[in-house]
């Protein structure tokens, strides 16, 4: 198959590759095998040959192709409370709202209904890969995997491990370390033996909720599972000053150091939030080549902090973008991408107009632009997960979205006399919405 289209991707940080009327060759198993550009010597010959064979699909003018978005942090069960209870402190929000909602996923029918809606909505918004926290429930977590497989979304899913009776409610926790570990192992086995998952479209993730919610026995056992299965790992790390201080009090060490101690800080680990990492923590995360899921909206509401994204990227750390549904009130990766720019501007400049201009910020130089925001929403997520996704290059999966800049109900307006090249991507990042997402492909298959 060959797709003729214009579009954009970020082959590396700081560089947008403008794909001007190119041909994407896509193999039967959904991998990009070639990208032919106008300037290529054999472009015309290839185009004519493909045309004759009737192999070319052409995107309409005004529609641009981008890599599908990689949402690096989603709590699938929290979708019913998206946009609710945002004015509560994190600890209250967890115990009063979130744990009771997640406990409802004991009810499989409810779980299926909520998870189906979520996966549909994320696909409609252009999220082609999601890294999901599920709940502690085996049945409901399997149902989420089945729904992703059925609808075709690339997903990484973890059954949550949380068994610390001091921090987790009686009706919503693993009954023991053994139960937490067995549930984790069962889910890994389920996905590995799943008849519809031969290509590994849905991958299991070892998921200690965060250090406060787990006993040492569980953290040790999960580390052992990771050593044996080589799975991805996800957890919350140094999200708020409360969460950061918790590990210091329990161990005299930071949660980053303790995750490393338990064997949970690997090349395939994603740390959600990570706002309060120390400089040494940053060095350790970088040394292990683990990644951070930057959740700009959620951090504003619950962590009261801004992750120093620019510093992390400059340092060469792996960083992707997460919605943190429902800590963040938007399921849209575009909305979160522009929020990443916004919060970086506030970190850079400071926000208190009563302070003299030169004293408003201790963080000047923290500002990112739309290129970095787009990079973390696509390329950065692929690197974080160590998967061939997030770029439109040979060897990568054809996971992509089409943005129709002329969609009636959309929110972009392009002006032919002003907007060309990269400036079009800039407008997409700042102004596009779900109504502009006209098509979605995953693994070469067009889903919508
Ligand atoms: N820390 C532990 N659990 C959670 C959660 O569900 N959301 C957020 N934002 N932080 C957490
Ligand atoms: Fe979270």
**pLDDT tens digit string along 276-320?**
999 999 999 999 999 999 999 999 999 999 999 999 999 999 999
Q: Look up the ipTM and state it.
A: 0.99
In this structure, of 148-157, 258-267, 344-353, the range with the lowest mean pLDDT score is: 344-353
Torsion angle in degrees (nearest 10) through CA of 367, 368, 370, 371? 150
Instruction: Looking at the CA of 305, name the nearest ligand.
Output: 1
> Above 90 in pLDDT, residue 414?
yes
Q: Is 73 in the pocket of ligand 1 (CB under 6 A)?
A: no
Query: Over 90: is that where the pLDDT of 413 sits?
Result: yes
Residue extent(s) of CATH 3.20.20.140 domains in the chain: 69-385
The rounded Å distance from CA 225 to ligand 1 centre is 23
Residue 291 neighbours by CB distance under 10 Å: 27
pTM of the model: 0.98
Domain with CATH 2.30.40.10 in the chain: 2-66+392-446
Picking from 322, 266, 265, 333, the residue whose alpha carbon sits closest to that of residue 293 is 322
301's tokens:
């509401």
Which tokens in the block code for residue 225?
A: 């599972």
Ligand 1: does its nearest atom lie under 6 Å from the Cβ of 174? no
User: Distance between CA atoms of 49 and 64, rounded to whole angstroms?
Assistant: 24
Residues 33 and 75: their CA atoms lie apart, in Å, by 34
Spatial separation of the C-alpha atoms in residues 388 and 391, rounded to whole Å = 8
**Residue 375, token pair as written in the block:** 């990079």
CATH 3.40.50.11540 fits 2-66+392-446, yes or no: no
Homologous superfamily in CATH for domain 69-385: Metal-dependent hydrolases (3.20.20.140)
Q: Across the strands, what pairs with 71?
A: 130, 321
For ligand 2, a single-atom ion, which residues have Cβ within 5 Å?
A: 272, 324
Distance, in Å, from the CA atom of 327 to the CA atom of 35, rounded to the nearest integer, reads 39
Q: How far is the CA of 324 from the centre of ligand 2 (A)?
A: 5
Between the CA of 88 and the centroid of ligand 1 the distance, in Å, is 13
Q: Compute the distance from residue 98 Cα to the ligand 1 centre, in Å.
A: 9
Q: Which residue minimizes the CA distance to atom 10 of ligand 1? A: 236
**Cα(99)–Cα(80) distance, integer angstroms:** 13
Ligand 1 contacts CB of residue 257 (under 6 A): no
């Amino acid at each position: 198959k060959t797709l003729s289209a214009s579009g954009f991707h970020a082959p590396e940080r700081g560089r947008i590759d403008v794909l001007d009327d190119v041909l994407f060759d896509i193999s039967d198993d959904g991998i990009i095998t070639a990208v032919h550009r106008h300037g290529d010597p054999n472009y015309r010959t290839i185009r004519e040959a493909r045309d004759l064979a009737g192999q070319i699909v052409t995107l309409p003018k005004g529609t641009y192709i981008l890599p599908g978005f990689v949402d690096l942090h989603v709590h699938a069960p929290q979708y019913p409370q998206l946009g609710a209870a945002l004015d509560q402190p994190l600890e209250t929000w967890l115990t009063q709202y979130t744990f009771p909602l997640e406990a409802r996923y004991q009810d499989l029918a409810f779980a299926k209904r909520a998870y189906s809606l979520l996966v549909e909505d994320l696909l409609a918004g252009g999220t082609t890969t999601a890294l999901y926290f599920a709940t502690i429930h085996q049945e409901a977590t399997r149902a989420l995997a089945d729904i992703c497989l059925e609808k075709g979304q690339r997903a990484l899913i973890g059954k949550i491990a949380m068994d610390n009776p001091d921090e987790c409610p009686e009706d919503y926790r693993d009954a023991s370390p053994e139960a937490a570990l067995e549930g984790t192992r069962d889910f890994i086995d389920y996905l590995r033996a799943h008849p519809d998952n031969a290509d590994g479209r849905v991958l299991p993730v070892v998921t200690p909720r965060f250090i406060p919610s787990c006993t040492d026995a569980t953290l040790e056992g999960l580390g052992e599972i990771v050593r044996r299965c080589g799975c991805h790992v996800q957890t919350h790390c140094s999200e708020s000053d409360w969460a950061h201080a918790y590990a210091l009090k329990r161990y005299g060490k930071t949660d980053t150091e303790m995750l490393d101690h338990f064997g949970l800080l690997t090349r395939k680990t994603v740390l959600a939030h990570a706002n309060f990492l120390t400089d040494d923590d940053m060095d350790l995360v970088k040394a292990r080549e683990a990644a951070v899921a930057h959740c700009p909206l959620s951090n504003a509401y619950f962590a009261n902090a801004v992750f120093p994204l620019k510093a992390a990227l400059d340092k060469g750390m792996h960083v992707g973008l997460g919605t943190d549904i429902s800590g963040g009130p938007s399921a849209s990766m575009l909305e979160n991408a522009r929020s990443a720019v916004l919060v970086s501007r506030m970190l850079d400049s400071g926000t208190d107009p009563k302070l003299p201009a030169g004293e408003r910020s201790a963080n000047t130089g923290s500002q990112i632009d739309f290129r970095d925001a787009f990079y973390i929403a696509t390329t950065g997520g692929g690197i974080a997960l160590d998967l061939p996704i997030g770029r439109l290059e040979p060897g990568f999966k054809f996971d992509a979205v089409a943005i129709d800049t002329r969609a009636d109900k959309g929110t972009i307006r392009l002006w032919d006399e002003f907007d060309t090249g990269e400036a079009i991507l800039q407008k997409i990042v700042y102004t596009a919405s779900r109504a502009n997402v006209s098509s979605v492909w995953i693994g070469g298959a067009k889903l919508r």
